[in-house]
Structure 1
């Protein structure tokens, strides 16, 4: 019995795919996954967005956390765990992106997914209009692997921050920026993400009881 579902991403082509993918196209893929369904498995969502590159795999679960879906208990930690699984694979240069079978089979309400996509669409449309290829040095190799390590640190902050209302959205918001930087290959966004990560760590230190 296969415990893992996989989505193959060639690292040599990953950034190229990210550069060709618009944020709105990723959201449209999520809508396609939910269309005509009452529930959607995480495995199906992974199949829909995984081939679009590593940035999408990092950004989408984190972005869902800052929508109403993130208000469901334990969902932020689950989404952070999913992001961490992808980040570990990216850090080690793995070609096959996978999720454990028990996560692949986990369901999410199609209506809630569609509602989350609608909430994210204005930001995605703004991204498509204003972001693009700039300062490639900050997004080209080995940047994705370095980013993956930083994301693992941010993911580790999410479970304890669930004790503070809305606080888990701080590290997840930074992860969205990192993922968006890889999707758009925009070094300006990457620089912003690194600055935001430093601010996030300071904010977490201030918020922690």
Structure 2
């Protein structure tokens, strides 16, 4: 277990250390590297996967939707420890795209970390994190539909990255931006179906 991850650079470092180990990278190993109280980093990770080219692999957005639904439901239940079923924990994450994605985000992570700071605490603590969990539940339920709409899963991933970063850095101003991005992602759905 690790101490609480406080910024994006620490998350990238934890995952890079994981990719240097031999063997398959399972979701269980990723969660072990992030810690069992790590709701926010896991939301951030799901967002990174959805924003990356991995979201183009059929089934990945749906799998991230299941993961996100389980996480956000537990946040709404005010659980202190993250629990996931064994069948989900045993899922493997392709190593090469993960390494490539981490390399791609490493430099921007350093710049982002300089901009993020604790502010507007009401947005990221109890009431704000419950609102975030509720929005994440909605995104999770819509991710299977978003697989059919080009780039909508990537936009949802960007919203999740923003939510995750806001919760990790305790930045309420970023949380407000995440709500706006979520509105944009959700607005695409009726556009394609009606």
TM over 0.5: yes
User: What residue number does 2:46 align with?
Assistant: 61
Q: Secondary structure of 2:83's match?
A: strand
Q: 2-side partners of 1:53 and 1:109: how far apart?
A: 22
Shift of 1:114: 1.0
What is the CA RMSD across the aligned residues, in angstroms?
2.1
> Where does structure 1 lack aligned partners over 5 or more consecutive residues?
1-6, 8-15
Select the residue among 25, 47, 53 that pairs with 2:10.
25
Contact 2:49–2:157 (CA<8 Å) still a contact in 1? no
For the pair 1:133 / 2:118, whether they are aligned, the reply is: yes
For the pair 1:154 / 2:131, whether they are aligned, the reply is: no
Shift of 1:143: 1.5
1:124-147 per-position Cα deviation (integer Å, ceiling 9, x unaligned): 222211111111121121211221
Q: As a proportion of its length, which structure holds more strand?
A: 1
User: What residue number does 1:205 align with?
Assistant: 190
> Where does structure 2 lack aligned partners over 5 or more consecutive residues?
none
Shift of 1:170: 2.0
User: What residue number does 2:35 align with?
Assistant: 50
Count of aligned pairs between the two proteins: 194
Q: 2-side partners of 1:89 and 1:29: how far apart?
A: 23
User: CA distance change for structure 1 residues 119 and 208 in 2, over 3 Å: closer, same or farther?
Assistant: farther
Q: 1-side partners of 2:38 and 2:85: how far apart?
A: 19
Q: 2-side partners of 1:140 and 1:50: how far apart?
A: 19
Return the TM-score normalized by structure 1. 0.85
Structure 1 window deviating more from structure 2 (52-61 vs 75-84): it is 52-61
User: CA distance change for structure 1 residues 51 and 101 in 2, over 3 Å: closer, same or farther?
Assistant: closer
Contact 1:55–1:182 (CA<8 Å) still a contact in 2? yes
Q: Secondary structure of 2:58's match?
A: coil
For the pair 1:121 / 2:106, whether they are aligned, the reply is: yes
User: What residue number does 2:88 align with?
Assistant: 103
